[in-house]
Structure 1
Amino acid sequence: MRRAPKDTAESVRKISRRGLFLGGVQLAFAGALGLRMQHLQVDQADEFRLLAEENRINIRLIPPTRGQIFDRNGIIIAGNEPSYRITMVKEDAGNVDEVITRLSALVELDEDELNRALTEMQRSAPFLPVTVAERVTWDDISRVAVNAPALPGVTPEVGLSRSYPRRGDFAHVVGYVGPVSERDLARYEIPDPVLRIPRFQIGKVGIEARHEEVLRGRAGAKRVEVNAVGRVMRELDRREGTPGADMQLTVDTKLQSYINARLGEESASVVVMDVTNGDLLGIASSPSYDPNKFVRGISVSDFGELRENDHRPLASKTVQDAYPPGSTFKMVTVLAALDAGVVAPDETVWCPGHMEVAGRRFHCWKRAGHGHMNLEQSLRESCDVYYYDLALKVGIERIAETARRLGLGEAFSIGMSAVTEGLVPNKEWKERERGSGWVIGDTVNASIGQGFVLSSPLQLAVMTARLATGKEVTPRLVRRIGDTETVEGVGNDLGFNENHLRQIRRAMFAVSNNRRGTAYGSRIIDETFRMAGKTGTSQVRNITAAERARGVTRNEDLPWNRRDHALFVNYAPYEAPKIAVSVVVEHGGGGSAAAAPIARDVTLQALYGNDPPLDAYPSKDRERIRSQQERLQQVLRENDPDGRSRA
């Protein structure tokens, strides 16, 4: 049936409108799509190009070379040595167990280290290298390289590792490095990205820790091309980092090694200080430990042995420990009294062997008493009663003030770990810390370096240096960082009356050179190097009235840990002071018997720069000293890093 023309025209109009509408919609969609494509391809081209580039190229950090540490003469005491290691990529190895079996036939693999590596492989991406053997020899590396076709996925590598060639000589000074821990990272608000490099090592204690950021340097970076799953395809370029700054210390390796050899296995410490500029020439704690073991990963048994040793080899006794200074504190008391004008050098005090104070009897070390004592005699023979009397006249506040001026009670910033400030007590301190008032007996005890008074061997050396010079000598351990030299440690005049200091120095000279002096047996015969010193013995236990009645038990009859500490301080030469020395022998007994001989030997070694001639010693000691020098030289030869094989 034919449609009417009118219906046909209407149908055409409807089709045209629909076509126009659909065409308009398509045109609008095409326009919107074009605008979107323009936005993505033109306006945001740089952003997407960057995203694509980052997906193809990775930036990886290159660990910086750690700065080295030298002694005052340029001898390395903390350096870097080549460290050979063997790594394995799991996906390249295929059958890991089979490759490990072949590798173990060529290289001796540590079982614990291997198990740790296998565990790490399970946790890591299969294309990441894992270290299966560290600190292998060059011969091991060569064998692996030659057999490379039979060891798929295995790669020999070389890097740098921290090394301490002097082993225990500087362990308490320099410290050691170790892997970064979560505790280490928590110390930084924004940790350096290099700290997150696997097995990256940082300073843990000592100079290594206190100057970590200077020694560490800044990391470099390399650009590597990776595929879609992150596997490295090739290295595109690299930017080397900035090595850490080298450091030079003030210590003398030769003297430090001698001190350690001289102390042997004693639980003791020695500080040698240049009084002209504050340089620490020697600062040694005994016994020591080998810091290389911590770098390599110390075993549980080795660490347990160090921790359980009652001589505490891990402790930096020179700066970390504080002891009652005993009679070495008497110079502080007498200087306070002289400055206060309450005593004259020739004024005498009667010593019957004790003094009654506030209903309590305070004893002198000499039970029968010393009789009449003046300033020089009291220091020379170490009469306690003389200082009890001074303490009652001068009071604790002046004593404490003088002690602080001489360097006690101050934590010197020398770069070592856990430096103590010791304790110089007064009335305010006791009220604040103990919640009780100061009593006169506290002052009497403090006058002879007992009671609450505590000081470190470093502080005792500073005190001695200041008495010898009258100047504010401050210890310096770091001599140079990079090309910048640190400030020397001699300050202004302390303001003490020079005549008062001269009286004390003369008395200290009598301690070592008068026949009645407590250190006469350890005197120096060479007149150009004669020393002025003071013995000290500090109690670590209370002596009961009953024990005094039957006779005080001798130190040698007591268990080691209940014996008195032995102390000695000195400076030399007497006429023109160059060095100050302090010695503390834990539970050594009397200062004259245990500490003074060590101080005399160290003093001569420091002044001569080598083994002194035998005629510098008293004639009765020369044969013993000759044997001692031969024994110590043998020890030093055995410990010489140039003459021993490294583990």
Structure 2
Amino acid sequence: MKRPDKDSAAGARKMTRRALILGGAQAGFMGLLALRMRYMQVEEADKFRLLAEENRINIRLIPPARGEIFDRNGAPIAVNNPAYRISLTREDAGDVEEVLRRLTSLIKLTDEELERAQTELKRTQPFFPVTVADQVAWSDVTQIAVNAPALPGVTPEVGLTRTYPQGSDFAHVVGYVGPVSDYDLSKMEAPDQLLLIPRFQIGKVGVEAKLEEELRGKAGARRVEVNHVGREMRELDRREGQQGENLQLTIDANLQTYVQGRLDGESAAAVVMDVTNGDILAIGSAPSFDPNLFVRGISVSDYRALTENKYRPLAAKSVQGIYPPGSTFKMVVGLAGLDAGIIGPEDTFYCRGHLEVSGRRFHCWKGSGHGSMNLEGSLRESCDIYYYELAMQLGIEKISAMAQKLGLGDRIDLPMSAVAQGLAPTKAWKREARGEDWMIGDTVNSAIGQGFVLASPLQLTVMTARIAAGRAVQPRLIKKINGIEQPIADAPSLGLNENHLRQIRKGMFSVSNNRKGTAYGSRIIAEQYRMAGKTGTSQVRNITAKERAAGVRSNADLPWERRDHALFVNFAPYENPKVAVAVVIEHGGGGSAVAAPVARDITLQALFQGEPPLDAYPQKDRPRVQEMQKKLREYRPAAGTDAKSRA
């Protein structure tokens, strides 16, 4: 049956609507596709060009500014200063040899700098800039700028360089930085990518090395476009790095400079420590060196002069040097005897100048003998026989235990390089280290700080501070990190009878203040600052029976390296101890004549926090002290230059 016209018209209208809807949808989709294609081809063209096969995005690190170091009062010790450097890009230079020749005619370049630059240019990509000269003067930069057309590829740049404004005074404490070497990288399991940046500098020794991670900071980053050969096309964005943490040391820069000046001319070390909290106020070694030379790249001749110097200026003797403590060890033996109940303060031993032990004669420094000696007298006059007798009754194990309780024979945790452990020997140690049994003669030698006993100046200072305080005071070198005070280590009681400690302190007081005392000539006159101390002289050679019979040769008649070491330890004031001091002068001779005056002067400087009045010194010393103070005043203002030129 034929469909009505009305139904046919309705069906046609439906088909038209569907066609229009489908056609519109198709047209809209095509429009969106066209817009998307236009957006990708026009708007996003740069992005996709970067992603093309011949280009890529690289992340390049930005070295952070290194943390700076200050003394306890905020005086700068290690800082970052703007510095100019000259770089050369081989690709832009063309004839590199000719450009370097022209550059050398304008600014002074050493043969070492030229050789190093040429080596780096050969092994570096041609489009990477290589530093030719570092820390050049502004006048050199202007010369290069004026002659820029004749120096293709040469670019003056500004950056930061490490500077040590105190010069040699802090060289052994803070150390120095230098470029990362293959040896440095070989010691690290997963080195920071920062360390792979050419000429990036890290701490080599001292605090700079021990607190490297804190001082280094966090790297920033640049996102750059590079082509297929690695040439940088442009910088896309950058994120600056995080500066390293600033450190504040416990050291007083003025006192440190005084110590270095007072030790000048000697091969020596001195340490000053706050008895109340363990803060290291000064820690010097002489002779010293200028750490700025290492930052710039020390010359072969300068380095040879340091390494061939018999006084070893590169060694931090205050912590690395270990010496027989000599008679400064007698406090350890005396305290061990009191603690074990073997002696009382008034018990005596008789000194006739020598003692026979197992067929061997052990001598006292006073050939005629001291006669009957009690504890105070034995310390005051440094009688050796008293301690020979006492040590044989005590035995080495009790002596060693007391030494370790007072800080000897233990490596002290201080952020300096190669901190020595020293040695408080025992029978087991000798059996293991030497393959020999302990002998009674070993004990006798140990009684006066000879034989196997070894201690650093830092350890002797800790020993003295513990005797003064009666507590296990721990030395501290870092006062603040980024302004945050660092904790002071607990200092529990030593567990020793206070009366016993008082007897040892009394004997030390007599050393400096009794007319018979070995350091009476170096006493402090000002009553409220009087010190208690102990002299020490440690032998570095054996004195034969033949020499004794003919007369022992004086140190002045011996070559320098065969003379005795001179030592002195003390704390002050006696009634209310604030500072402990130890001084060791290598091959200086007698401790009373050589080390004691130095320690006395340093102690007064620490107590007065500046130049002490002349009436604090004995009358006979005042003219010499006045002249010395004048010279040291000339020494101090020149901080930042080499100590030798300041002397």
Amino acid at match of 1:544: T
- Contact between 2:178 and 2:203, CA under 8 Å: does it hold in 1? yes
Q: 2:174 matched to 1:174?
A: yes
Name 2:107's counterpart in structure 1: 107
CA distance in 1, matches of 2:477, 2:53: 50
Quick one: structure 1 residues 49 and 357, their matched pair in 2 at CA, closer, same or farther if it must change by over 3 Å? farther
Name 1:470's counterpart in structure 2: 470
Name 1:588's counterpart in structure 2: 588
How far is 1:166 from its partner?
Answer: 0.9
Name 2:130's counterpart in structure 1: 130
How far is 1:90 from its partner?
Answer: 1.9
How far is 1:99 from its partner?
Answer: 3.2
How far is 1:110 from its partner?
Answer: 2.7
Name 2:249's counterpart in structure 1: 249
1:433-455 CA-to-partner distances (Å, cap 9, x unmatched) read: 11111111111111111111000
Name 2:39's counterpart in structure 1: none
How far is 1:356 from its partner?
Answer: 1.1
Alignment of 1:363-512 (within 5 A): 363-512=363-512
Quick one: structure 1 residues 99 and 430, their matched pair in 2 at CA, closer, same or farther if it must change by over 3 Å? closer
How far is 1:52 from its partner?
Answer: 4.1
Amino acid at match of 1:174: V
Amino acid at match of 2:123: R
Name 2:81's counterpart in structure 1: 81
Amino acid at match of 1:157: E
Quick one: structure 1 residues 131 and 239, their matched pair in 2 at CA, closer, same or farther if it must change by over 3 Å? same
CA distance in 1, matches of 2:629, 2:302: 31
Task: Find the residue that maps to 1:473 and give its secondary structure.
Answer: coil
Task: Find the residue that maps to 1:130 and give its secondary structure.
Answer: strand
Task: Find the residue that maps to 1:271 and give its secondary structure.
Answer: strand
Amino acid at match of 1:227: N
Aligned residues: percent identity? Answer: 66
Quick one: structure 1 residues 643 and 181, their matched pair in 2 at CA, closer, same or farther if it must change by over 3 Å? closer
CA distance in 2, matches of 1:131, 1:353: 69
CA distance in 1, matches of 2:592, 2:568: 7
Name 2:267's counterpart in structure 1: 267
Name 2:517's counterpart in structure 1: 517
How far is 1:497 from its partner?
Answer: 0.4
Q: Name whichever of 252-261 and 626-635 sits farther off.
A: 626-635
CA distance in 2, matches of 1:476, 1:610: 22
- Contact between 2:167 and 2:640, CA under 8 Å: does it hold in 1? no
Name 2:291's counterpart in structure 1: 291
Task: Find the residue that maps to 2:238 and give its secondary structure.
Answer: strand
Q: Name whichever of 116-125 and 179-188 sits farther off.
A: 116-125
Name 1:578's counterpart in structure 2: 578
Q: Name whichever of 157-166 and 85-94 sits farther off.
A: 85-94
Amino acid at match of 2:438: W
How far is 1:489 from its partner?
Answer: 3.7
CA distance in 1, matches of 2:194, 2:351: 67
Q: 2:184 matched to 1:221?
A: no
Name 2:632's counterpart in structure 1: 632
Quick one: structure 1 residues 641 and 268, their matched pair in 2 at CA, closer, same or farther if it must change by over 3 Å? closer
1:448-491 CA-to-partner distances (Å, cap 9, x unmatched) read: 11111000000000000000010010110111222432221451
- Contact between 2:290 and 2:641, CA under 8 Å: does it hold in 1? no
CA distance in 1, matches of 2:643, 2:465: 37
CA distance in 2, matches of 1:336, 1:642: 45
Alignment of 1:133-212 (within 5 A): 133-212=133-212
How far is 1:181 from its partner?
Answer: 1.0
Task: Find the residue that maps to 1:233 and give its secondary structure.
Answer: strand
Quick one: structure 1 residues 376 and 644, their matched pair in 2 at CA, closer, same or farther if it must change by over 3 Å? closer
Normalised by the length of structure 2, the TM-score is 0.90
How far is 1:138 from its partner?
Answer: 1.5
CA distance in 1, matches of 2:429, 2:451: 13
- Contact between 1:278 and 1:490, CA under 8 Å: does it hold in 2? no
Task: Find the residue that maps to 2:317 and give its secondary structure.
Answer: coil
Quick one: structure 1 residues 607 and 645, their matched pair in 2 at CA, closer, same or farther if it must change by over 3 Å? closer
Quick one: structure 1 residues 374 and 53, their matched pair in 2 at CA, closer, same or farther if it must change by over 3 Å? farther
How far is 1:641 from its partner?
Answer: 6.5
Regions of 4+ moved over 6 Å: 48-51, 641-646
Task: Find the residue that maps to 1:636 and give its secondary structure.
Answer: helix
Amino acid at match of 2:361: R
CA distance in 2, matches of 1:321, 1:644: 22
Name 1:333's counterpart in structure 2: 333
How far is 1:140 from its partner?
Answer: 1.8
Name 1:541's counterpart in structure 2: 541
CA distance in 2, matches of 1:547, 1:642: 43
Amino acid at match of 1:200: F
CA distance in 2, matches of 1:350, 1:475: 39
- Contact between 2:167 and 2:642, CA under 8 Å: does it hold in 1? no
CA distance in 1, matches of 2:454, 2:124: 53
Alignment of 1:354-365 (within 5 A): 354-365=354-365
Q: 2:283 matched to 1:280?
A: no
Quick one: structure 1 residues 437 and 101, their matched pair in 2 at CA, closer, same or farther if it must change by over 3 Å? closer
- Contact between 1:276 and 1:490, CA under 8 Å: does it hold in 2? no
1:52-81 CA-to-partner distances (Å, cap 9, x unmatched) read: 489332211111111111110111111111
Task: Find the residue that maps to 2:156 and give its secondary structure.
Answer: strand
- Contact between 2:89 and 2:126, CA under 8 Å: does it hold in 1? yes
- Contact between 2:50 and 2:56, CA under 8 Å: does it hold in 1? no
Name 2:10's counterpart in structure 1: none
How far is 1:600 from its partner?
Answer: 0.3
Task: Find the residue that maps to 1:536 and give its secondary structure.
Answer: strand
Unaligned runs of 5+ in 2: 1-47
CA distance in 2, matches of 1:398, 1:276: 27
Quick one: structure 1 residues 96 and 50, their matched pair in 2 at CA, closer, same or farther if it must change by over 3 Å? closer
Normalised by the length of structure 1, the TM-score is 0.90
Quick one: structure 1 residues 640 and 630, their matched pair in 2 at CA, closer, same or farther if it must change by over 3 Å? farther
